[in-house]
Amino acid sequence: MASTGPMNKYDNNANHSRELRDTDRLSKIREKFAPKAETIEAVGGWLTESGIDPSRIELSSGRNWMMFNASVGEVESLLQTKYNYYTHASGQGHIACDEYRVPQSLSKHIDFIMPTVHFDTKIIDKPGQDQKAKKRDVPTNHQPGDPSNIAWNPKKGKTIASPNSPSPGVVYNLANCNQYITPECLRALYNFSNGTLAKSSYGIVEYTPQAYLQSDLNLFYANLARQIPSGTAPTFDSIDGGVDQTSMQGFNYQGESDLDLEYAIALGKYMKLGLAGVTILYSSGDYGVAGNGGQSFPGTCPYVTSVGATQIKPGASVTAPEEACETVIYSGGGFSNVFPIPSYQKSAVSSYFANHNPPYTATQYNNSRTVRGYPDVAANGANYVVAVDGQITLIYGTSASSPTFGSIITLINEQRVNSGKKAVGFINPTIYANPTAFNDIVTGGNQGCGTAGFTAVSGWDPVTGLGTPNYAKLLSVFQALA
């Protein structure tokens, strides 16, 4: 999102983004969304003329934010306003103003200024708040990575093997995939094999302090992915100060990371953070229509592919149709209150309402039929066999579904790159235009909020989206593209 004009005196962030500018595709994206050079000069000139020295002004790497440090008095004079300090009942403070002004000539260059009239600070728990109550309730104010964030973390099932019980007598094979999901089960479910070309990359976000343990990866390889050498590890790329910590250990520190990496490595084998041509996937949540404590973003963003959860039906074979996940977790899904329906999804959502109109009113959900529906797709999210903290245990969640779907997209990218093509990038328009490349899920639901939730039906639905991937069919679709 770089300016189409030359670098200027406000571009203090230039060196930080030099590597990004070297990528041709990113350069085009930056140019597409960059403000004009005259915008940067006009706003920067206004600030300097008002007494803000250029050394205090910095452009974001995308060149669409201009940041500067100033005293309250300076900003009050600049914006012709008065700031107040507001205190929430919790004791947390926030600084804001009732209104502000900018020169008329700058109105076309500025979308908004922060902090000003926005009261959007998240309320932090009081010290000493009753911990039992926090564990019972689905939290709404924790960030991903917080070990106490039960809404965002995967759900732990029974322990299969531990150092005190090293021989559980469980044989992992296709006959018991309805009880134990392994990489072999997922390959059978979605019709794909291991990647071998090493020509694509898969970046997985983990939020500090969550981190994997190499000993857990090795334990997983030894039990469920013997073709992978012990010691195989992902490439660590720190973003915004993230660290790969191992001093704090336990399921809430390693559960998410071990799950994501073990299955991504076992299914795709090769992994490195990709910065261009990226397909962005996000889990839809584990609490049905309740989302993750009311939070479903960024999965509801129309430029993200939201992934819901399915399960093999109890007692069924790995070749039988799956159903929406109703074991321990329920696939998150519903309709956005923020984002309008994207053009690529209009036909699918219209068909859903025409043929399967839910028995709810606007009191329960946004039934305007004009907003983004999610998830887009789904993958198995129950009974994953995972090595965590030296134990083999079962894990549940869309935290498992999303890496699984991502591994399949990575394998498709591998084949495209091998054919001299680019990575698929944003996939939503293509997958909605090719729904037959998915296994349609027509049973199960996503109860939550004291309701039965929505029901999986033929076609797209707000429980499992278009359904689960059929690798061979998806590969054919994407290989046919330029």
- Residues 424-467: tens digit of each pLDDT: 988 999 999 999 999 999 999 999 989 999 999 999 999 999 99
| pLDDT at residue 11, as a whole number | 54
> Could you please report the per-residue DSSP string of 306-344?
EEEEEEPPTT--TTS--EE--SS-B---EEEEEEEPPGG
Active site residues: 256, 260, 399
How large is the average pLDDT for residues 330-349?
95
Strand pairing of 305-311 and 377-380? parallel
- Indicate the average pLDDT of the chain: 83
Contact between 67 and 58 (Cβ < 8 Å): yes
Least confident of 24-38, 324-338, 367-381: 24-38
Q: How far apart are the first and last CA of the chain?
A: 25
DSSP string across 398-443: HHHHHHHHHHHHHHHHHHHHHTT-------HHHHHH-GGGEE---S
Answer whether residue 2 shows pLDDT above 50.
no
Whether the per-residue pLDDT at 122 is higher than 60: the answer is: yes
Omega prior to 403 cis, within 30 of 0: no
Positions of E strands within 217-304: 281-283
pLDDT digit string, tens, across residues 100-113: 999 999 999 999 89
* Whole-number pLDDT of residue 68: 94
Give yes or no for residue 97 having a pLDDT over 90. Answer: yes
Q: What pLDDT, on the 0 to 100 scale, is given for residue 463?
A: 98
Q: For residues 227 and 206, which has the higher predicted lDDT (pLDDT)?
A: 227
Q: Across the chain, which distance is largest between two alpha carbons, in Å?
A: 76
Tally the C-alpha atoms within 13 A of residue 369's C-alpha that lie toward its C-beta: 13
pLDDT in tens, 466-477: 999 999 999 999
Distance CA 333, CA 445 (A): 10
pLDDT higher than threshold 80 for residue 245: no
Confidence of residue 124 (pLDDT cuts 50, 70, 90): low
Q: Choose the weakest-confidence range: 89-98, 287-296, 431-440.
A: 287-296
Backbone angles phi, psi at 338, to 5 degrees: -120, -50
* HSE value, Cβ hemisphere, 13 Å, CA-based, for 298: 8
Q: Is the dihedral of CA 48, 53, 55, 59 positive or negative?
A: negative
Q: What is the pLDDT of residue 269?
A: 39
Does residue 15 have a pLDDT over 50? Answer: no
Smallest CA-to-CA distance from 254 within 296, 219, 227, 202 is with 219
In the predicted model, is pLDDT for residue 248 greater than 50? yes
| Residue 326 pLDDT | 96
pLDDT at 247: 75
**In this predicted model, what pLDDT tens digit does every residue of 142-175 receive, in sequence order?**
566 666 666 667 777 888 877 655 555 688 999 9
Q: Is the pLDDT of residue 85 over 80?
A: yes
Share of the chain above pLDDT 90, in %: 52
CB contact set of 343 (below 8 Å; sequence gap of 6+): none
Please state which of the ranges 124-133, 277-286, 326-335 shows the lowest mean pLDDT. 124-133
Least confident range of 77-81, 82-86, 273-277, 314-318: 273-277
Residue written as tokens 């296994």? 439
| For residue 271, pLDDT beyond 90 | no
Distance CA(363)–CA(366), nearest Å, equals 8
Q: Do residues 324 and 300 touch, judged by C-beta distance below 8 A?
A: no
Looking at residue 50, what is its pLDDT? 94
Q: Per-residue pLDDT averaged across 41-63, rounded?
A: 90
pTM of the model: 0.73
Q: Which CB contacts under 8 angstroms, 24+ apart, belong to 297-302?
A: 297/338, 299/332, 299/374, 299/375, 300/336, 300/338, 300/339, 300/372, 300/374, 301/339, 301/372, 302/339, 302/342, 302/345, 302/372, 302/428
Res 293 pLDDT > 90: no
